[in-house]
Amino acid sequence: MFPKLLSYIAFLILVYVLIVGLIGNVPARPILNETIRNLYFHVPMWFSMFGLLSIGLANSIKYLASGNPVNDLKAESYITVGVVVGVLGLLTGMIWAKYTWGAWWVSDPKLNGSAITLLMYAAYFVLRSSLPNQILKAKLSNVYSIIAYVMWIVFLIILPRITDSLHPGNGGNPGFSNYDLDSNMKMVFYPAVIGWFLLTVWISTITFRIKKLAL
């Protein structure tokens, strides 16, 4: 159960982020221009995805340790919402890339990394849907999700060292924190991260409750 107070807080934070993020002051940077506002929406998606998939992993481990089907449902809900958030992160990133780098898709380790992550978790859903037996489904898919998560982390660590990235803070590009992210933007960016994360956790708990009712 998600505390009601936290959902109100998430709502208020996101209203603040939407209003201030769209009309607040941002530094005028060449190429980036107004698209820098996407920082409040694109980057928190990745943080949320990371958080949700980690909670999903914790639930998968708990399921294997205890065999309690509730943990399996929880893992599935968090991973489902995590993947949706990942797709949103990819879409917001693609729009941003079109206006700054000039193409919808570039061969960049972060883009490849996120695409591969989504592939891995898509395979998780394929596995789930191909198994009619509840217990077998839970066991196999949780084992698979643990492998996928570990390989994903390995991937995130290794990939940027192999290829250069266009993203800020990689491959000789300055990070946002150096000069772009002034204190005005920080005032919106940090709440945005918290707000989006709370919202997605809230959605996951609702998904979990629906799945539990359907069981």
Q: Which residues bind other proteins (CB under 8 A)?
A: 64, 116, 119-120, 122-123, 126-127, 130-131, 135-136, 139-140, 142-144, 146-148, 150-151, 154-155, 158-159, 161-162
- Tell the burial category of 130 from Cβ atoms under 10 Å away from its Cβ (0-12, 13-18, 19+): exposed
User: Closest CB to other proteins among 7 and 170?
Assistant: 170
d(CA 14, CA 11): 5
Q: Exposure pattern of 188-206 as b/e (b: 16+ CB <10 Å)?
A: bbebbbbbbbbbbbbbbbe
Q: What is the smallest separation between the CB atom of 112 and other proteins, expressed in angstroms?
A: 9
Phi and psi, residue 172, nearest 5°: 85, -5
Q: Which residue has the tokens 């994360």?
A: 197
Q: Exposure pattern of 62-83 as b/e (b: 16+ CB <10 Å)?
A: bbbeeeeeebbbbbbbbbbbbb
Q: What is the smallest separation between the CB atom of 136 and other proteins, expressed in angstroms?
A: 6
Q: What is the smallest separation between the CB atom of 140 and other proteins, expressed in angstroms?
A: 5
Three-class secondary structure of residue 206 per DSSP: helix
Q: What is the smallest separation between the CB atom of 2 and other proteins, expressed in angstroms?
A: 29
Amino acid in the structure at residue 129: S
User: Closest CB to other proteins among 33 and 163?
Assistant: 163
User: Closest CB to other proteins among 78 and 124?
Assistant: 124
Side-chain half-sphere of 12: how many Cα atoms within 13 Å?
Answer: 6
User: Closest CB to other proteins among 6 and 122?
Assistant: 122
Q: What is the smallest separation between the CB atom of 5 and other proteins, expressed in angstroms?
A: 37
Contact 197, 51 (CB under 8 A): yes
Q: What is the smallest separation between the CB atom of 82 and other proteins, expressed in angstroms?
A: 15
